[in-house]
Amino acid sequence: MADEEDVLDEEAEVGPEGSETALTPVEADKPLAPPKYEVRPGLGEKFQAQNVRDIILSTMQEQLMGRQYRADQAPRWARAIANGVRQRVQELEMKRYKIIVQCTILEMKGAGIKCGQRCIWDPETDDYIDDMFKNDTIFCYTIAYGVYMY
């Protein structure tokens, strides 16, 4: 009796044409799904330099307008400017861009300053924008980098 049940179970696995359905090969003529890996930003999705410049300038003016340089407050102002610019730039929703912001605040005493920067990046996708703010006692230089994450 037990042997007859085993035979019936085996017959249930066999398809109507006598071939086993569990071992059918994968259909080769199905089209593959398009790749989801983005190597470059799409048209209109690149770093929005002019919008970022406006954000940098307005953030510096909000924080520093009407202030006099104070050595004890300058680090806090620089941190507030850098964080404010980064948050507002991220609200532009430039997808897959890593935003890096650097802010430097110096006291104006008549001396000059020279600064430089170097980065290794993809010039087709990555970009930066900078701006400065000056009044009688404060010089502020802020730069924002947009690096596309592959």
Average pLDDT over residues 87-101: 95
- Inter-helix orientation angle 49-64/74-90, to 10°: 150
**113: pLDDT confidence band, cut at 50, 70 and 90?**
confident
Question: How confident is the model at residue 25, as a pLDDT?
Answer: 59
Average pLDDT over residues 123-142: 95
Backbone angles phi, psi at 99, to 5 degrees: -105, 125
**116: pLDDT confidence band, cut at 50, 70 and 90?**
confident
What pTM did the predictor assign?
0.73
**86: pLDDT confidence band, cut at 50, 70 and 90?**
very high
Average pLDDT over residues 15-32: 61
Instruction: Please tell me the distance from the alpha carbon of residue 83 to that of residue 116, in angstroms, as a whole number.
Output: 22
Average pLDDT over residues 104-131: 90
Question: What is the percent of the chain where pLDDT is above 90?
Answer: 59
Give the residues across from 146 on adjacent strands.
99, 127
**Domains of the chain and any CATH numbers:** 49-148 (3.30.1140.40)
pLDDT over 70 at 37, yes or no = yes
